[in-house]
């Protein structure tokens, strides 16, 4: 992965974290983004460090993330919060089976909101890239049905918004 791709991936993660923080705390998105960009929030992930002898459970250790693409981060964060109601309509309309908008955890909703904003508001990003990035991001937080849900919802929305990207060749 190139440095710029890592920076875009870091921007997506930071945007999800910022959107989640605003939903949970009621903070203004510009304040949360400022904290992220100035290094007071985010920038690290917990990694499992295995015991070399295999006697103990892995320990968690903070590891630095690539710096986020600041332009992409601010665009995703501000756009997602500004258009949350529209994004929720799209998301809720794309749920099927046992899933309903009321059933979504706030973190899953935050992942979907940012991803759907990217799919609908950033036409220069290939939709398959967007789907892969956010499914991978969901997989960093969940190992259950949430990852499949994110994949299914984003695939459904991407095919509606970008049918040309999924047309047979």
Q: How far is CA 123 from CA 82, 86, 127, 165, in A?
A: 18, 17, 8, 11
For residue 60, is it within any domain?
no
Q: How far is CA 15 from CA 7, 41, 166, in A?
A: 12, 11, 26
For residue 31, is it within any domain?
yes
Structurally, how many domains does the chain consist of? 1
For residue 87, is it within any domain?
yes
What backbone phi and psi angles, to 5 degrees, belong to 13?
Answer: -60, -50
Can you give the chain as a three-state secondary structure string?
CCHHHHHHHHHHHHHHHHHHHHHHHCCCHHHHHHHHHCCCCCCEEEEEECCCCCCCCCEEEEEECCCCCHHHHHHHHHHHHHCHHHHHHHHHHCCCCCCCHHHCCHHHHHHHHHHHHHHHHCCCCCHHHHHHHHHHHHHHHCCCHHHHHHHHHHHHHHHHHCHHHHCCC
Range of the domain at 134: 3-42+69-161
Query: Average pLDDT, whole number, for the chain?
Result: 91
For residue 168, is it within any domain?
no
Average pLDDT for residues 71-85, to the nearest whole number?
97
Residue 49: pLDDT band (50, 70, 90) is confident
pTM: 0.89
Residue 46: pLDDT band (50, 70, 90) is low
Give pLDDT, residue 44. 67
What backbone phi and psi angles, to 5 degrees, belong to 154?
Answer: -65, -40
For residue 51, is it within any domain?
no
For residue 63, is it within any domain?
no
CATH of the domain at 94: 1.10.940.10
For residue 35, is it within any domain?
yes
For residue 56, is it within any domain?
no
Average pLDDT for residues 77-102, to the nearest whole number?
92
């Amino acid at each position: 992965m190139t440095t710029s791709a890592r920076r875009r991936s870091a921007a997506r993660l930071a945007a999800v974290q910022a959107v989640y923080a605003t939903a949970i705390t009621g903070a203004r998105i510009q304040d949360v983004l400022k904290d992220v960009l100035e290094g007071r929030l985010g920038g690290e992930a917990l990694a499992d460090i295995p015991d070399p002898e295999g006697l103990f459970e892995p320990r968690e250790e903070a590891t630095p993330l690539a710096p986020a693409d600041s332009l992409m981060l601010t665009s995703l964060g501000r756009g997602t919060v500004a258009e949350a109601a529209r994004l929720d309509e799209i998301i809720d309309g794309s749920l099927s089976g046992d899933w309903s908008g009321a059933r979504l955890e706030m973190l899953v909703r935050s992942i979907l909101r940012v991803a759907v904003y990217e799919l609908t508001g950033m036409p220069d990003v290939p939709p398959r890239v967007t789907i892969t990035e956010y499914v991978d991001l969901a997989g960093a937080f969940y190992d259950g049905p949430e990852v499949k849900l994110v994949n299914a919802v984003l695939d459904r929305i991407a095919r509606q918004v970008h049918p040309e990207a999924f047309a047979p060749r």
